[in-house]
Amino acid sequence: MLALIQHRLWQVVDEARANVARMLGADAGEIVFTSGGTESNNMVINTAIAHFQQLHPSAGGSDGDAGDGGGGGGKPHVVTSNLEHDSVALVLEHLQGLGAIDVTVVRAAPGTCAVEAADVAAAVTANTCLVTLMLANNETGWVGDGASCSVGDGCSFGNAVRLASGCSERLATMTCRP
């Protein structure tokens, strides 16, 4: 009896995965369910760093600098803002403290709390493997102005800068939207 219930539960999860994939125009195999936001954030951060390290096997030590411009050496680099949720900010701080990554924190504009696309783009280096910005906070109710942030524009510019410097990998972006 327990096996039948378990089988039915897997069917329900697989159906949900297929429905979400269909809504997003993705393959069901690309959809991952987690227990919550913190687990999801950690998965994205660790995956982006691991992907960078696979593409740059000599990176990750103290041999280079995130801003070296060449994309060949140095540690993985992450761009975030001072508005980021602790489930991201504390993980990035910890990894930076271990010397595993470099982090650039883009400051939000006083008064508007907007993270400007130009500031995000300026923070991107050849070793940037992730841009993570919170656009809404479910705990405080704060909702940023996504239009003024234009994260996609900043990352598009950052990708152009990276391509011009010989780095062919595109930036991973992680945003939390309302």
Average pLDDT over every residue of 130-145: 76
Q: Identify whether the C-beta of residue 151 lies closer than 8 Å to the C-beta of residue 123.
A: no
pLDDT in tens, 24-74: 999 999 899 999 989 999 999 999 999 999 988 876 554 444 344 444 468
Report the b/e string of 6-36 with b at 16+ CB within 10 A. eeeeeeeeeeebeeeeeeeeeeeeebeeeee
Residue 64 is predicted with a pLDDT of 42
Number of domains in the chain: 2
* Residues 69 and 99 grouped into a single domain: yes
* Residues 46 and 17 grouped into a single domain: no
* The dihedral formed by the CA atoms of 81, 93, 30 and 11, expressed in degrees to the nearest 10: -120
Q: What is the pTM of this model?
A: 0.71
List the CATH number of the domain containing 119: 3.40.640.10
* Residues 28 and 10 grouped into a single domain: yes
Q: Identify whether the C-beta of residue 46 lies closer than 8 Å to the C-beta of residue 76.
A: no
* Residues 23 and 58 grouped into a single domain: no
* Residues 121 and 66 grouped into a single domain: yes
pLDDT in tens, 80-128: 998 888 999 999 999 999 999 999 999 988 877 778 888 888 898 889 9
Q: Which domain holds residue 22?
A: 1-33
